[in-house]
């Protein structure tokens, strides 16, 4: 048995309940994949997107309807070490991905303000454009359960708004294109456990600001890491179910007990029909 086959086996055997089952649940519950879809699986080079690619390969073998998958690595300007790590992992995992070269890091890092925001925006736009050229109608990103709850909490604490990361959404600028997040119900700790079990090493965000700790490290200046630590502290000292509760809150909103909300870009207040309820 080839190494990639042994790794595939761990997904449906050793980690079936922690990776395969929540992947399938998300696909079905949120209707992420439909017959005749052509999906661009976007691989950043990190553990999450590489696992997502393997899950899609497994799903193609077992699906009861036809759909197509294209595996894409967009190189925004990784240094040679990180790019070689990505190529090595693609080979180890037997993922037939196309690598597209761009200069996004160079452009974003030349800006004095918010290079991370510009980088993320440019990468997302480039992915949509590349997916369209491949004839795809969906792009799949590797955001997992922990990304969802961290984003929800970060929006509350930093932006003063309650909004979460949805399992799928339509593109505003690319007609007919949809973004899906098949790892939506998978925990990050389980992805890490799978990677460690198979002795796999992946890159982190590898831009100029973080490439010094870009392989298997934590980006210590990250606001997301601060949020991770806050959630750990809340779980340890306040409520062990805090992660599940944050996630559940996004689908358990009591519209009778909120000050306001926004729908289709229009703001609404509890005062709009307050007197009518009397």
pLDDT tens by residue, the chain, 278 residues = 899 999 999 999 999 999 999 999 999 999 999 999 999 999 999 999 999 999 999 999 999 999 999 999 998 888 899 999 999 999 999 999 999 988 887 777 777 666 677 777 888 888 999 999 999 999 999 999 999 999 999 999 988 999 999 999 999 888 999 999 999 999 999 999 999 999 999 987 655 555 444 444 444 447 788 899 999 999 999 999 999 999 999 999 999 999 999 999 999 999 998 888 66
Give the Cβ contact number of residue 175 at 10 Å. 8
Q: pLDDT above 90 covers what percent of the chain?
A: 73
CA distances from 122 to 18, 106, 144, 165 (A): 33, 11, 21, 19
For each of the domains in the chain, give its residue range(s) and CATH number, in order of start.
Answer: 3-221 (3.40.50.620)
Average pLDDT along the chain = 90
CA distances from 277 to 195, 202, 261, 270 (A): 55, 56, 18, 11
Place of tokens 């922990």: 146
Distance (Å, whole) CA 173 – CA 132: 12
Q: Which of 114, 100, 6, 108 is nearest to 44 (CA)?
A: 100
Q: Alpha-carbon torsion 35, 186, 191, 104, what sign? A: positive
Q: Select from 81, 128, 121, 119 the least CA-distant residue to 100.
A: 128
CA torsion sign for 16, 17, 19, 22 is positive
Contacts of 232 by beta carbon, 8 Å cutoff, 6+ apart: none
Best CA proximity match to 73, nearest among 52, 97, 38, 51: 97
The model's pTM is: 0.90
């Amino acid at each position: 048995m080839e190494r990639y086959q042994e790794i595939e086996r761990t997904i449906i055997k050793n980690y079936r309940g922690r990776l395969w089952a929540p992947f399938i649940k998300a696909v079905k519950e949120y209707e992420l994949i439909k017959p005749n879809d052509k999906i661009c699986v976007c691989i950043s080079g990190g553990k999450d997107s590489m696992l997502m690619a393997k899950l899609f390969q497994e799903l193609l073998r077992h699906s009861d309807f036809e759909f197509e998958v294209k595996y894409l690595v967009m190189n925004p300007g990784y240094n040679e070490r990180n790019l070689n790590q990505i190529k090595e992992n693609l080979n180890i995992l037997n993922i037939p991905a196309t690598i597209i070269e761009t200069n996004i890091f160079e452009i974003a890092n030349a800006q004095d303000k918010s290079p991370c925001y510009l980088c993320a925006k440019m990468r997302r736009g480039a992915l949509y454009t590349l997916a369209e050229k491949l004839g795809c109608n969906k792009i799949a990103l590797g955001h997992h359960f922990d990304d969802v709850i961290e984003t929800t909490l970060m929006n509350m604490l930093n932006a003063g708004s309650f909004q979460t990361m949805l399992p799928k959404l339509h593109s505003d600028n690319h007609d007919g294109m949809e973004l899906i997040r098949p790892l939506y119900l998978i925990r990050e700790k389980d992805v890490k456990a799978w990677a460690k079990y198979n002795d796999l090493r992946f890159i982190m965000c590898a831009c100029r600001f973080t490439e010094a700790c870009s392989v298997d490290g934590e980006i210590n200046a990250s606001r997301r890491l601060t949020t991770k630590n806050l959630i750990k502290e809340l779980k340890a000292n306040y409520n062990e179910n805090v992660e599940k509760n944050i996630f559940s809150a996004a689908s358990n909103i009591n519209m009778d007990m909120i000050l306001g909300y926004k729908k289709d870009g229009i703001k609404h207040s509890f005062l709009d029909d307050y007197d009518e309820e009397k």
